Amino acid sequence: MISEQKQSHRKRSHGFPAFLDLYGKSVILVGGGAKAAGKYRRLAACGAKVTIIAEQLSDELHQRTEGEQVVHENRKHREDDFQVGSLVIVATESSADNTAIAQTAHEAGVWVNVANQPELSNFLIPSLVDRSPLLVAISSGGVSPVLARLLTSRIDAFLPHTYSDLGRLAENYRDKIKQHVGDWRQRRRFWERLLNGRIGELILQGRFKSAEQAMDAALTEHSENPHSGEVYLVGAGPGDPDLLSFRALRLMQQCDVVLFDRLVSEPIMQLVNSEAERVYVGKRRNDHAVPQESINALLVKHAKQGKRVLRLKGGDPFIFGRGGEEIETLAEEGVSFQVVPGVTAAAGCASYAGIPLTHRDHAQACIFVTGHLKDGTVNLDWPALARPHQTVVIYMGLVGLPVICEQLIKHGLPSDHPIALVAEGTRQSQQVLTGTLETLPETIKSQAIKPPTLIIVGNVVSLREKLAWFETRE
């Protein structure tokens, strides 16, 4: 038996996925029954040189291995069968035998997989959707092979077999396209357009001749007119990745480089093409890590190198986001761009806090302002903000909150006028504090509040008591 220590040692991560090139490589398969036959099938498909160690071969294995490059050792396994570094698959019909063989294999320091016994294995064999050369491998990390197979059959049903043809087309044209399109980024974009567009569609329909003609035409066109870069100015919303738009997500996944700042939440960054270069251009209050002019210049520089540049901004790029300034520079420099709106913090925080920004009984208008402190004061049109029947949303107002409340009271709002502070709105860590113009500045003194924060002033805040719905993680 494997000792307890070894068992717990073999507790592992969910796995590092990799595809091994076993062509012409030696693999030892222990077992001669139905299970071993299944493993043999996959090994043979990879061109591995298989040595089967088994006292008896099933009829299926006999037939399969006939005339193949297989060595059959007609005996029980021995301790000296396993050399360090070899790949061993144990698939006898007896789990007691499997355990004993796995023990020997582990002692010999080899890579070993035991059929249906992930706890004895140091590598797992995933379920497979085979659209060679495309392979979709699915693993549950040994936790639930049934679930992995279920998912495999769903993907199998959903993925047309013609994806194999698409893969083969890519294989056949690889060298040719490499010659025509020298720059790897442009090449990737070229492929994306081909496979996503009409050519991909033709192949999936089985119209190979037309696809090849279209492919040659695309290559000629590219040589005459190579593509230049583009900037995607994308609003990432306030934090919850579910609030991204489809267009935002699509562009995030096809960019070559991303310029992002602190407001973009980590779960959203995880959705950006993992191969894209990441450039942090974060800004903190009163501390512009990268000055705006440099950001503008960076966007132009990357785009002129032919890259697809993602400028990812928190909320909406056109609301207190300097998005306008950035694309002004692009327009002046003749760089093409597109703008994708995002859910602005006011909309996101209001929804997730259960505070409707307008309401027929409470507010007929809604104003967005920034509450940035300058020289210790907040410079706003106070008489306009202190009018009744409206909601005022204040971005960047945490530090100026006492001044804001004081000025609003001074310009005519009652001191018991409702106000809310939403910190980390729409995220699992969202925190909402409510009070009045008089009480909230005191309340926040005793609280640990994490940025970013948004302030909502107006009678609509009182609706939260009834309408709060979003539950944060406990």
283 is catalytic: yes
**Spatial distance between the Cα atoms of 18 and 291, rounded to a whole number of angstroms:** 42
Helix, coil or strand: residue 135: strand
Phi, psi of 136 (to 5 degrees): -110, 115
Chain centre distance of CA 227: 27
* Residue with Cβ nearer ligand SAH (124 or 349): 349
* C-alpha to C-alpha distance for 150 and 333, rounded to whole angstroms: 53
Instruction: Give the C-alpha separation, 336 to 327, whole Å.
Output: 9
CB atoms within 10 A of CB 38: 14
Which residue from 369, 287, 300, 374 is spatially nearest to 333, judged by alpha carbons? Answer: 300
Torsion of CA 420, 426, 431, 434, to 10 degrees: 20
Q: Are strands 390-395 and 365-370 parallel, antiparallel or unpaired?
A: parallel
**Minimum distance of ligand SAH from residue 265's CB (angstroms):** 8
Nearer to ligand SAH, 231 or 422 (CB): 422
Residues in contact with ligand SAH by the rule CB under 6 A: 238-239, 263, 313-316, 319-321, 344-345, 349, 395-396, 422, 424-426, 452-454
- Asked if residue 452 has a cis previous peptide bond (ω within 30° of 0), the answer is yes
CA-CA distance, 241 to 245, in Å (whole number)?
9
The set of residues, in sequence order, having a beta carbon less than 8 Å from that of 341 and lying 6+ positions away, is: 235, 245, 316, 317, 318
Catalytic residue among 261, 307, 313, 316: 261
SS3 content of the chain, % helix, strand, coil (to 5): 40, 20, 40
Q: Give the pairing type, strands 453-457 and 390-395.
A: antiparallel
Give me the catalytic one of 49, 97, 183, 283: 283
Is position 209 annotated as part of the catalytic site? no
| Closest to ligand SAH by CB, 230 or 316 | 316
In the complex, the smallest distance separating the C-beta of residue 234 from ligand SAH, rounded to whole angstroms, is 11
Nearer to ligand SAH by Cβ, of 272 and 345: the residue is 345
Question: At 290, phi and psi to the nearest 5?
Answer: -125, 120
The distance of closest approach from Cβ of residue 316 to ligand SAH in the complex, given in angstroms and rounded to an integer, is 4
- Least distance in angstroms from the C-beta of 238 to ligand SAH: 4
Closer to ligand SAH by CB, 144 or 429: give it.
429
Element (H, E) at 442: helix 440-445
Handedness of CA 56, 61, 65, 70 (dihedral sign): negative
Smallest Cα–Cα separation from 255: which of 223, 227, 278? 278
Residue closer to ligand SAH, measured from CB, 40 or 320: 320
| Three-state helix/strand/coil letters over 163-214 | HHHHHHHHHHHHHHHHHHCCCHHHHHHHHHHHHHCHHHHHHHCCCHHHHHHH
AA identity, residue 2: I
Q: Which is nearer to ligand SAH, 319 or 380 (CB)?
A: 319
Active-site residue set? 261, 283
